[in-house]
């Protein structure tokens, strides 16, 4: 997927305008370039309880899920994420990485 190269100031201004208009659900993903960092900057200073935040991780190596969660929290500059999607479960190996002991679901439960 090719994402447009939008200047950071424009991205932040767009989120601020969305907030002004009452939009309160924001979806991002670690795979969407630097969107988590920009969204974190844009939402900084706003009441965290005023929006619903979704991000996604893609199953690659089940050992890294906890690290991915912590990195997303840091980039988004929040203490919690309302909805963590597991993106791209496309084959048996991804299913295994997600549902096995030590997999994505376990990491999400512990987060």
In the chain the first and final C-alpha atoms are separated, in Å, by: 29
Confirm whether 80 is a catalytic residue: no
Count how many Cα atoms sit within 13 Å of the Cα of residue 41 in the half-sphere of its side chain: 11
State how far the Cα of 21 lies from the Cα of 84, in Å rounded to an integer: 25
- Choosing from 26, 32, 62, 80, the catalytic residue is 32
- By DSSP bridging, strand 52-57 and strand 83-86 are parallel
Give me the active site residues, please: 32
């Amino acid at each position: 997927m090719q994402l447009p190269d939008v200047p950071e100031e424009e991205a932040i201004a767009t989120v601020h305008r969305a907030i002004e208009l009452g939009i309160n659900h924001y979806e991002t993903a670690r795979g969407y370039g630097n969107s988590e960092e920009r969204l974190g900057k844009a939402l900084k200073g706003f009441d965290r309880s005023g929006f619903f935040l979704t991000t996604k991780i893609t199953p690659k190596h089940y050992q890294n899920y906890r690290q991915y969660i912590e990195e997303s929290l840091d980039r988004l500059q929040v203490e919690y994420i309302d909805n963590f999607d597991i993106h791209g479960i496309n084959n048996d190996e991804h299913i295994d990485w997600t549902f096995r002991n030590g997999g994505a679901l376990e990491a999400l439960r512990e987060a």
